[in-house]
Amino acid sequence: MIVHIQKILKKSQKGGYAVGAFNTSNLEVTLGICRAAMRYQSPIIMQVSEATIEYAGIEVITAIVNSIAKGEAKNVPIALHLDHGHSLEIIKDCIKAGFSSVHMDASTYPYEENIAMTRMASDFAHKFGVWTQGELGSMFGKEGMSMVKLPDDPDSFMTDPSKVKDFVKRSGIDALAVSIGTMHGSFEGKELIDFNRLKKIRKNTNKPLVLHGASGTKDNEIRRAVKMGINIINIDTDIRIGFTKALQKTLSKKISFYDPRKVMKPSINEVSNVVGHKMTIFNSIQKI
């Protein structure tokens, strides 16, 4: 069932576990994510990016999520969230479509501009009872096909703990995306979380903290981050890899059918397996 993100987060903060924010882009990925939630009795945040909205259309992707949430996934809490919104227009569209949470990503702008843009999104969203996620510090990683090179000095791009209090207060956000060592894309075993930085950030705010770029990060690093106060963990790339690898495997076999439903089935199942594994790491299983 579709619920407000606040309901999911309130419970998870009390329970000391994190909730996965899983990116969907089509019917099959949505089914895979929802079926993992049902199998593991876990709450989920279903998130879409601007690229998905461009690909599927906001009405279509929202209708897919809503109808599955009302149908076979009616017993698990699902919150709709916009991942990396870059303009007030897209935020308005998502609120109109029934999202309970939106991410205003103005993190590439100078500090004061980031605050001003995020504040504008928060003020608008709050009129409709919708949560805003703001981002302090920059996320690096894969943008399209090219790898963005990390600057040598982590202080130049990671979240500055000393700015957290001021940023949260003045931007009016409900959740904070932090840059603490993970990167967008999957870099198996190469991403190390700066736990000291996380500790300082956690001390400076009681708002839910969001870890982006967690695909490819080692399970024990994630577990430790959850214990230290990460509340939401975004997973996109690992889902895409699971989906595509399963599809490649299906198509590499000699198949005697030309039925998209049969072709897609192993990919749906693999998305469920990937998402289910994350849920066990986040400790969100049996929490509905």
Chain residues binding Zn ion by CB under 5 A are 212
Pick the catalytic residue from 83, 160, 174, 236. Answer: 83
Instruction: Name the residue with the smallest CB distance to Zn ion.
Output: 212
Of the candidates 215, 175, 234, the one whose C-alpha atom is nearest the C-alpha of residue 13 is 175
State how far the Cα of 131 lies from the Cα of 99, in Å rounded to an integer: 9
State how far the Cα of 243 lies from the Cα of 229, in Å rounded to an integer: 30
The count of C-alpha atoms lying within 13 angstroms of the C-alpha of 174, restricted to the half-sphere facing its C-beta, is 21
Of the candidates 193, 251, 253, the one whose C-alpha atom is nearest the C-alpha of residue 222 is 193
State how far the Cα of 82 lies from the Cα of 50, in Å rounded to an integer: 8
CB 177 to Zn ion: min, Å? 7
68/235 with CB nearer Zn ion: 235
197/212 with CB nearer Zn ion: 212
Other Cβ atoms within 10 Å of 64 Cβ, number: 19
Contact by Cβ (8 Å): 20, 235: yes
Q: What is each CA distance from 4 to 34, 71, 101, 266, in whole angstroms?
A: 17, 18, 8, 31
DSSP state of 71: T
85/264 with CB nearer Zn ion: 85
183/268 with CB nearer Zn ion: 183
CB 148 to Zn ion: min, Å? 13
Q: Examine the residue annotation and report whether 152 is marked as an active-site residue of this protein.
A: no
- Residue 253 CB contacts under 8 Å (≥ 6 apart), including other chains: none
- DSSP of 91-140, one letter per residue? HHHHHHTT-SEEEE--TTS-HHHHHHHHHHHHHHHHHTT-EEEEEES---
And the tokens for 31? 């089914």
The residues carrying an active-site annotation are 83
